[in-house]
Structure 1
Amino acid sequence: MTSTELLLPSTRRALLHRVATAQSQGRTPSLVAAVQRDGQVAWTGARSCVDGHEPDGDTQFRIGSITKTFTAVLVMRLRDEGLLDLGDPLEKHLPGTGVGEVTVQQLLGHSAGLGAETPAPWWERTPGTTRPELADVLGDSPLLTSPGHRHHYSNPGYTLLGTLVERLRGDSWAEVLRREILEPLGMDRTTPQAHAPHAGGWAVHPWADVMLPEPAEDLGLMAPAGQLWSTTTDLLRFAAFLAQGDDRVLCASSVAEMRAPAAPPETGDWAGTYGLGLQAVRCGDRTLFGHGGSLPGFLATLWFSVEDDVAAVVLANATSGPSTGVVAAELLLIVADAEPRIPEPWRPLPDVDEALLALTGPWYWGTQVHALKLLADGGLELQPLRDVGRAARFRACPDGTWTGLNGYYAGETLRVVRTEDGRVDHLDLGSFVFTREPYDRDAAIPGGVDEGGWRGLSV
């Protein structure tokens, strides 16, 4: 057991207890976990069935479908470079697949209608050479439902995305991954093949305390869906990137786009959703982002909270056993709840646009009162002052308008409408008129204002 001194002893004790319980009750040969806070590894811990052989932050485990998030980042890089649009049909860039009508975005968010798995035999336990062509991955009837209508997790969909990366880059998926993500982020212990020290994959008998080694196959064309080996140290670096962005790989706004829901969740699964290569789950009043993964012999989960700036990784070498997703979430919450983030000191703005400052304060949509606030980043925030109303943040545009960033007004335009003498008449937000007074008689309100004005109940 190792840990830094960045957390209180009671917090470290709670983390160790959770990891020890997971390894013991989950009956897994070994389990390693790590938590990051404020960009630093705050705690690491491990348990093993072999005394003195606990894995550490440099020990590789297979991470399965966490690989998909790396593939998604490569696709988003292509989008940011203008080499594709997320709305492009696959046929535009990768003709002849038989599913060319599905879009890049649908593949990223698992809403393309493709099957979850390849045709038999079970792809995770057979060599990739068993499926040398895309047709072998997709099968004769690859579309189960109409594209775009529902979320249905698809491993073959990420084979298509990996092949798309290779086609547009003119290089192998593994080489593009190394060059464009792993090297810039310093993830030299994340590799397509295992490099010592690494854990071996095991199946534990469900009714007896005995084990069976699992094969570690090269997945071939399926590699972009689940090939990678990694460590807790490397995955925490990846988590920091996914939370904040890194201009060497993908900017902050693009990784934020990956976290946004891409398709409706399955009926009854309202606690979780899927973005573009990232899963999202609700834990109380928090949203955690990341991905889980499994391959025969291995389980893995990475979760991070942008708001708390905390991330947790759990890796285990068992086909089934501990729920690494639950354990990783609980490790994150132990730290976030026991030692909440210390806010940065409040500081005034370095300067302010007086005309912009004059727009702040109360505004009325009909009789609903809102407040417009100037944010530290130069944006605006509209907040209802009572329970009724819609909130939104806005960013400035070069033409003097503002674009909504979230909620009901995401993508909508906020305009300041002035009279001929330059006085602010009202705010126009997607055709909704906001005035300084409720139904201001001097403002251009659609439908006008009754000439009799406000009145009481006549007796």
Structure 2
Amino acid sequence: MRIIGAIACLCLTAACAESEPARSSTAPSSRVCPTLTVSLDADLRAHIDPILEAKAEEGFAGQVAVLDGDQIIYLGAAGHADLASEIPVTHETHFQVSSITKYLTAVLILKASEEGLIDLGDPAGTSIGDVEAIPQTYAQILAHTAGYASSYIAENYDDNALALSGILDANPEAASRAGEFRYSNDGYDLLGILVERIYRTSYEGAAQLEVLDPACVDAGFWGQVDHSDPTAFARALIEPPPALLRRNYGMLGASGLLISAQGLLQLQHAIESEAVLGATHGELIEPRAELSIGRATYGGFLVERPGLGRALSLRGYMDWGDNAYLMDYLECDLTLAIVTSRGPREDSGKSPFRDQLLEPIEAELAPFCESPA
């Protein structure tokens, strides 16, 4: 097991290269890549490295990264990206971050609103020319209050129109339940489908042009890579169902982002610095519904954390082992990313590694917070 450090300045990297856009972006040409400096804190490494080492002995394989302002103060990578324990996880290894993808989809919809392509208060059916089919607003779908459930029906389709019909057919009572909070993969799968209609390109292409390129984030998507190749992204503890390995609309807008921990930090930093969104970026942390864990937001949750105050909590978990956190501590100017592909298994009786790591790492971060809530 290795805990890997780094000393460099970075603009996270491959996505910064110019590419031929599928649709002309209205992003101001004056925007530049928001650069993060790596300045590792020795005391933090001395305390967090042993935590990762202990979890690696239990099977953890993943990354942890911490951002303080615009400085990365901790980077840790442990375990192996392959199942044969031959290829170590590095800081560049990508992981499936599952439902954190919903946050990216929310950013895309807000970007479309800023560009005048949609109005968040309009029926989402305007994107397909059929308001009766989707009378709920974009804002309702973003907030999980559009009445959609989680049938995962879109996993069966690699065709946009068929996936759209499948979701609508699987949710005949959605419009009548609008206003009620129902955490919904179907809703965000639907938004991923609508992103393609709005931007007139693939979901992946829109995400690259509108978000990842302006943020200078190196990332990929489910269906773009060889799932058996641990150099593409870390192998999961359990092989996903074979039918899901292809590109499909249940693994795009809701759960298909492949990215590193420091890539997540770069993405959130770019969003907060308005390199991706303008005035609407504050919409991402507005509370939308009261829940037992806190308040729902567009693509995440607002929670209170001991010693660190209010946090935007983005989280992902898949049955086959991938799980992740992106925690943005709003009063402390700290951001924490935890990613892993190794569960543990649901039948182990243990909580996901993201949860096992969160509290001890937060305890080490609390002294960096000058004014917790």
TM-score by length of 1: 0.63
Residue 199 (structure 1) aligned with residue 230 (structure 2): no
Partner of 2:70: 39
SS at match of 1:202: coil
Partner of 1:301: 325
Partner of 1:79: 113
How has the CA–CA distance of structure 1 residues 138 and 153 changed in structure 2, closer, same or farther, with 3 Å as cutoff? same
Q: What is the RMSD computed on CA atoms of the aligned residues?
A: 3.0
Counting helix residues as a fraction of each chain, which structure ranks higher? 2
* 1:35–1:331 contact (8 Å) kept in structure 2: no
Q: Among residues 161, 177, 192, which one is paired with 1:162 in the alignment?
A: 192
Counting strand residues as a fraction of each chain, which structure ranks higher? 1
TM-superposed CA distance for 1:331, in Å, is 6.0
Partner of 2:315: 292
User: Residue type matched to 1:261 in 2?
Assistant: P
In structure 1, runs of 5+ residues without a counterpart are 204-211, 343-459
TM-superposed CA distance for 1:337, in Å, is 1.5
User: Residue type matched to 2:341 in 1?
Assistant: N
* 1:110–1:152 contact (8 Å) kept in structure 2: yes
TM-score by length of 2: 0.76
Residue 186 (structure 1) aligned with residue 216 (structure 2): yes
Alignment of 1:86-101 (within 5 A): 86-96=120-130, 99-101=133-135
Rg (Cα) greater in structure: 1
* 1:288–1:303 contact (8 Å) kept in structure 2: yes
Q: Among residues 246, 263, 284, which one is paired with 1:218 in the alignment?
A: 246
Alignment of 1:32-431 (within 5 A): 32-48=63-79, 53-96=87-130, 99-119=133-153, 123=155, 128=158, 132-143=162-173, 146-192=176-222, 193-194=224-225, 196-203=231-238, 215=242, 217-222=245-250, 223-242=252-271, 244-246=272-274, 248-251=275-278, 253-265=279-291, 269=292, 271-284=293-306, 286-295=309-318, 296-321=320-345, 323-327=352-356, 329-330=358-359, 333-341=362-370
In structure 2, runs of 5+ residues without a counterpart are 8-38, 346-350
* 1:301–1:325 contact (8 Å) kept in structure 2: yes
* 1:218–1:227 contact (8 Å) kept in structure 2: no
What percentage of residue pairs aligned between the two structures are identical? Answer: 23
* Equivalent residues, number: 322
User: Deviation per CA, 1:416-438, whole angstroms, max 9, x where unpaired?
Assistant: xxxxxxxxxxxxxxxxxxxxxxx
| In 2, Cα distance between equivalents of 1:175 and 1:4 | 31
Q: Which has the higher contact order (CA 8 A, sep 6+)?
A: 2
* 2:98–2:316 contact (8 Å) kept in structure 1: yes
SS at match of 1:315: strand
TM-superposed CA distance for 1:201, in Å, is 1.6
| In 2, Cα distance between equivalents of 1:162 and 1:79 | 15
Of residues 332-341 and 10-19 in structure 1, the stretch that sits farther from structure 2 once superposed is: 332-341
SS at match of 1:41: strand
SS at match of 1:224: coil
How has the CA–CA distance of structure 1 residues 128 and 202 changed in structure 2, closer, same or farther, with 3 Å as cutoff? farther
| In 2, Cα distance between equivalents of 1:311 and 1:87 | 31
